[in-house]
């Protein structure tokens, strides 16, 4: 059971280079996310996709683009990398747990992370 798989695990880029982070989930989830994690700043949402064919900006979308290729795959592209984009990137997918008619909770499943350094 792979869950959420993201590649590459580690990458070093030069300023101005482009790259794409790949992500795939095998849990048949509708929603997928890209987060970045920086020390002392927690998890910040870059983009998310509520369903196949839709994408929306999160808290920190500048400098990034995304593609929801199909229900399984959600990629993140850095068009012109900058040192400020040095971070750990997490792809995630989610499903809802319903307790009753009033409450349901969004459970997010994360990949293992991609460590990106821009020099």
Partner 1 sequence: QQQVKQSPQSLIVQKGGISIINCAYENTAFDYFPWYQQFPGKGPALLIAIRPDVSEKKEGRFTISFNKSAKQFSLHIMDSQPGDSATYFCAAQDSNYQLIWGAGTKLIIKP
**Stretches 17-25, 67-75, 76-84, 95-103: which one binds partner 1 (CB under 8 A)?**
95-103
Residue listed under structure tokens 């592209």: 77
DSSP string, 18-58: -EEEEEEESS--SEEEEEEEETTTEEEEEEEESSTT--EE-
CB of 105 to partner 1, least distance (A): 4
Of the pair 7, 104, the CB lying nearest partner 1 is at 104
Q: CB of residue 59 vs partner 1: minimum separation in angstroms?
A: 9
Element (H, E) at 68: strand 64-68
Site for partner 1 in 15-74 (CB under 8 A): 31, 40-45, 48
Asked whether the beta carbons of 55 and 49 are under 8 A apart, the reply is yes
In the complex, the residues that contact partner 1 under the rule CB under 8 A are 4, 31, 40-45, 48, 90, 92, 96, 99, 102-113
């Amino acid at each position: 059971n792979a869950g959420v798989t993201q590649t590459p695990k580690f990458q070093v880029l030069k300023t101005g280079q482009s790259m794409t982070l790949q992500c795939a989930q095998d849990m048949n989830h509708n929603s997928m996310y890209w987060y970045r994690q920086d020390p002392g700043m927690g998890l910040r949402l870059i983009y998310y996709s509520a369903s196949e064919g839709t994408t929306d900006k999160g808290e920190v979308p500048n400098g990034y683009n995304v593609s929801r290729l199909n229900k399984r795959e959600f990629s993140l592209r850095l068009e012109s990398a900058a040192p400020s984009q040095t971070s750990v990137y997490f792809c995630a997918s989610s499903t809802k747990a319903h307790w009753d008619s009033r409450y349901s909770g969004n459970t997010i499943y994360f990949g293992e992370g991609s460590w990106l350094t821009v020099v």
